[in-house]
């Protein structure tokens, strides 16, 4: 069996095993979130149960401090994904995945340059999965925010105070919006100022502009006065209107995104067909130094072209 085909098979098996592991991990995370959801519905009992489970240890570990700005970025990404993993644990996962990919590639191909490149690429997989988790959580948070604001407005109309509306959202809404508002409620109940508690929520979710708008509006209303119910209704209506516009934009750009998908996948499909039908045809790319140079050039060009196609089909709303 050709060595290239063996490498491809091993890469597929490695990816499948990694996917199964990630699936098991996220199943465990889902179970923990279910437990926290039940805890959120008993916010009044938090003090008696030994402290709040809603909080995360935001203290940077030694690895994050040693990495400086990179460590701070990784720490922020972990907080945005609401992950219990520390920066040191994330770096360990990246090193383990990268080392495994490097050893497998080096053992079966004998090309150290290619093995290093494959190892570096696979080392980014845990980080990319973390960013994807953070993006999914932020999207779900924004999706739930209009309903949370409507619930706050109705609670204020019923005569509840602002602090009690945070508790109502934590009790009635699903995760992750209930978790964030529950944290704010607990922090304020335990003595923190509104500005500090709401600012912590923004720091945990730096990519959510709508949440920042909500926090700014609440803090401004507390300082200058105004109709908070009307403010919440206006923010909720604005977010829903943007959702409708985003859906229209997504429908209009579907052709460009599908074209980018086809053009991006075509080189990989052709390379796979050629490697199966004529395995020796692509050997110079892996065995010859000049072929390694062109392979690196093709890879960088491919990534740059994919980035350009993504930017063309992306419309800021």
Which distant-in-sequence residues (6+ apart) come within 8 Å of 46 by Cβ?
Answer: 39, 52, 53, 54, 186
Assess whether 258 and 236 both reside in one domain: no
Domain final residue, candidates 209, 241, 273: 241
Assess whether 169 and 237 both reside in one domain: yes
Q: Is 290 exposed, middle or buried (0-12, 13-18, 19+ CB in 10 A)?
A: exposed
CATH number of the domain at 145, please: 1.20.81
Domain final residue, candidates 208, 241, 274: 241
Domain final residue, candidates 211, 241, 271: 241
Question: What is the distance between the alpha carbons of residues 311 and 317, in angstroms, rounded to a whole number?
Answer: 14
Assess whether 216 and 265 both reside in one domain: no
What does each of the 317 residues of the chain score in pLDDT, given as a tens digit?
A: 455 556 566 666 666 666 666 666 666 666 666 666 555 554 443 443 333 444 444 555 566 666 677 777 777 777 777 777 777 788 888 888 888 887 877 777 666 766 777 788 888 888 888 888 888 888 888 888 999 999 999 988 888 888 889 888 888 888 888 888 888 888 888 888 888 888 888 888 888 888 888 888 888 888 887 788 888 889 888 888 888 888 888 787 777 778 777 877 788 788 778 777 777 777 777 777 787 788 788 888 887 877 777 776 666 65
**Inside any domain, residue 104:** no
Number of domains observed in the structure of the chain:
2
Assess whether 283 and 224 both reside in one domain: no
Q: Is 114 exposed, middle or buried (0-12, 13-18, 19+ CB in 10 A)?
A: buried
* Total number of residues shown for the chain: 317
**Inside any domain, residue 225:** yes
Task: Provide the residue range defining the domain that includes 203.
Answer: 137-241
């Amino acid at each position: 069996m050709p060595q290239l085909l063996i490498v491809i098979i091993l890469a597929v098996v490695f990816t499948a095993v990694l996917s199964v592991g990630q699936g098991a991990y996220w199943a465990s995370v889902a179970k923990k979130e279910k437990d926290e959801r039940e805890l959120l519905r008993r916010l009044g009992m938090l003090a008696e149960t030994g402290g709040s489970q809603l909080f995360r240890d935001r203290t940077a570990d030694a690895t994050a401090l040693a990495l400086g700005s990179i460590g701070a970025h990784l720490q922020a990404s972990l907080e945005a994904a609401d992950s219990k993993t520390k920066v040191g644990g994330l770096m360990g996962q990246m090193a383990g995945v990268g080392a495994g990919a490097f050893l497998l590639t080096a053992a079966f191909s004998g090309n150290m340059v290619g093995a290093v490149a494959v190892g570096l690429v696979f080392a980014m997989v845990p980080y990319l999965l973390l960013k994807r988790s953070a993006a999914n959580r932020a999207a779900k948070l924004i999706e739930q925010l209009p309903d949370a604001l409507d619930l706050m407005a109705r609670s204020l109309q019923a005569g509840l105070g602002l602090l009690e509306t945070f508790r109502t959202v934590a009790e009635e809404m699903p995760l992750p919006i209930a978790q964030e508002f529950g944290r704010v409620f607990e922090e304020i109940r335990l003595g923190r100022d509104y500005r500090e508690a709401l600012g912590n929520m923004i720091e945990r979710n730096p990519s959510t502009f709508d949440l920042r708008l909500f926090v700014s509006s609440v803090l401004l209303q507390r300082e200058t006065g105004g109709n908070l119910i009307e403010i919440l209704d206006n923010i909720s209506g604005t977010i829903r209107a943007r959702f409708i516009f985003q859906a229209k934009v997504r429908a209009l750009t579907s052709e460009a995104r599908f074209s980018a998908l086809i053009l991006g996948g075509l080189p990989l499909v052709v390379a796979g067909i050629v490697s199966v039908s004529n395995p020796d045809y692509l050997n110079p790319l892996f065995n010859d130094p000049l072929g390694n140079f062109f392979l690196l050039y093709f890879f960088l060009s491919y990534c740059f072209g994919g980035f350009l196609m993504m930017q063309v089909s992306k419309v800021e709303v």
